[in-house]
Amino acid sequence: MADLTTEFLGITSPNPFWLASAPPTDKEYNVRRAFEAGWGGVVWKTLGAEGPPVVNVNGPRYGAIWGADRRLLGLNNIELITDRPLDVNLAEMTRVKKDYPDRALIASIMVPCEEAAWKAILPRVAETNADGIELNFGCPHGMAERGMGSAVGQVPEYIQMVTEWCKQYYDRPVIVKLTPNITDIRHPARAAHAGNADAVSLINTINSITSVNLDAMAPEPMIGGKGTHGGYCGPAVKPIAMNMVAEISRDPQTAGLPISAIGGITTWRDAAEFIALGAGNVQVCTAAMTYGFKVVEEMISGLSDWMDEKGYASIEEFRGMATPNVTDWQYLDLNYVAKARISQDDCIKCGRCFAACEDTSHQAIAMSADRTFTVKDDECVACNLCVNVCPIEGCITMEEVPVGQVDERTGRVVSGDYSNWTVHPNNPSAAAAQ
């Protein structure tokens, strides 16, 4: 059986599934139950400095986007860091770590961007025996307005500076949690690396307004007639998170920097995809908040079964395998040719593929009088729109066909007799490969 044990920064956990810093990890009661359910580790809900209490709103703090079946696709929140006293959290963390020595327990921290503030909290966190710390440079609301969270994560110089302080005053692994609310994720990752971070974790939540109440004319969640942007997470953000993880993973300037991947992870497959892109483990928040702690059982068994099927004995055996196949557009092979294929056995004759292709794409699907849909190979550019709009999974597929010649009239590479095919003129990589 596949071994799911992970060694992330020397921290061993029985599986790669950690709970991200958020309400599921806000207190001892939750974390004990999470560990009993099987989670490999937790990042405790972000701790703040001693001082005036953190006060959350007392109205709705979540907004959401749903699919047609009311499945939660995106969650938006305006919650702050923990509003429980620091000493209570630290005492609870100490007890939990003592009782679950085989699980990872990471302290998430967000204090003002002053050396004294970090110097004061780090020894107290160290006393809990937590396995490491995660620097919350990501929360986009509430704390950012106070010069913390994403306000730090958006300035690479601050990231480096604070990371250096943490490496100076704390002797266990330091993970830097990045905000996605930035143009090029490689810059903050490089800054963390320059500050000697042991790893980066990403993504935190994305600035968002999920809905506007058209009676009150205010964004939701609405607190007394006003709303504010929140942080977006859940399945909807996974593609953004995967791109960012891939960008860091393949950046030569951060080569080898361990990554803890976060963002929309709901199933074992999501986790496997992030690991294939180089992540050493994954963190989950929305899926646990939606389905409860037991969702990890499916993640563990699914990943383990898939690894057995593929013959991977450990996570490390497939970690990063997809990274070399992430490339820049100009290196895509323009001589590769595919065509849409419609399975007549599966087709329910709804005509969505026809409408989409005829009205908005390449007029490459023919409809007969009895509503039989067929692909016109000469027109099909394999854009994949028909596959994506078809309501029947697997009914329309893309089939690779032999590379052909450049059609001088359209500039397209067409399939056909390729005994004397020419390399597409826009494709230096394919030309080089000749």
Ligand X SMILES: Cc1cc2nc3c(=O)[nH]c(=O)nc-3n(C[C@H](O)[C@H](O)[C@H](O)COP(=O)(O)O)c2cc1C
Q: At CA 286, angle to CA 385 and CA 154, rounded to 5?
A: 85
Nearer to ligand X, 299 or 340 (CB): 299
The answer to whether 357 is a known catalytic residue is: no
Which of the following is catalytic: 113, 139, 285, 350? 139
Sign, CA torsion 308/311/317/318? negative
C-alpha 434/C-alpha 324 separation (Å) is 20
Q: Which residues contact 234 (CB under 8 A, 6 or more apart)?
A: 64, 72, 73, 74, 75, 264, 266, 286, 287, 290
Residue 349 φ/ψ region, left for φ over 0, alpha for ψ in the -120 to 50 degree band, beta for the rest: left
Q: How far is the CB of 243 from ligand X (least distance, A)?
A: 14
Instruction: Choose one: 10-18, 119-127, 256-264, 397-405; the region binding ligand X (CB under 6 A).
Output: 256-264
Give the span between the Cα atoms of 315 and 341, in whole angstroms.
36
- Total residues in contact with ligand X, by rule CB under 6 A: 28
- Compute φ and ψ for 358, nearest 5 degrees: -70, -45
265 binds ligand X (CB under 6 A): yes
Using CB under 6 A as the binding rule, whether residue 23 contacts ligand X is answered as yes
Among 160, 163, 205, 208, binds ligand X (CB under 6 A): 205
Comparing CB distances to ligand X, the nearer of 75 and 403 is 75
Among 153, 195, 264, 278, binds ligand X (CB under 6 A): 264
Helices (H), 2-149: 28-37, 86-99, 115-126
Nearest in space to 35 (alpha carbons), one of 104, 95, 92: 104
DSSP code string of 34-67 = HHHHT-SEEEEEEE--SSSPP---SS--EEEEE-
Q: Using the rule CB under 6 A, give the single segment among 14-22, 122-130, 189-197, 215-223 that binds ligand X.
A: 14-22
Nearest to ligand X of 195, 263 (CB atom): 263
Contact region with ligand X (CB under 6 A), list: 2-10, 120-128, 134-142, 354-362: 134-142
Which CB atom, from 13 or from 286, has the smaller least distance to ligand X? 286
Q: List strand residue ranges (DSSP E) for 243-292, in order.
A: 259-262, 281-284
- CB of 35 or CB of 137, closer to ligand X: 137
Q: Which two tokens stand for residue 104?
A: 């990872």
> Which of the residues 210 through 249 are near ligand X (CB under 6 A)?
233-234, 237
Query: Should residue 386 be labelled a site residue for ligand X when binding is judged by CB under 6 A?
Result: no
Of residues 35-94, those binding ligand X (CB under 6 A): 45-46, 75, 77, 79, 81
- Report 275-334 residues binding ligand X (CB under 6 A): 284-287
How far CA 200 is from CA of 10, 26, 150, 266, 271, in Å, comes to 15, 21, 14, 21, 17
Q: What are the residue numbers of the active site?
A: 139
- Point out which residues bind ligand X (CB under 6 A): 20-23, 45-46, 75, 77, 79, 81, 108, 136, 138-139, 177, 204-205, 233-234, 237, 262-265, 284-287
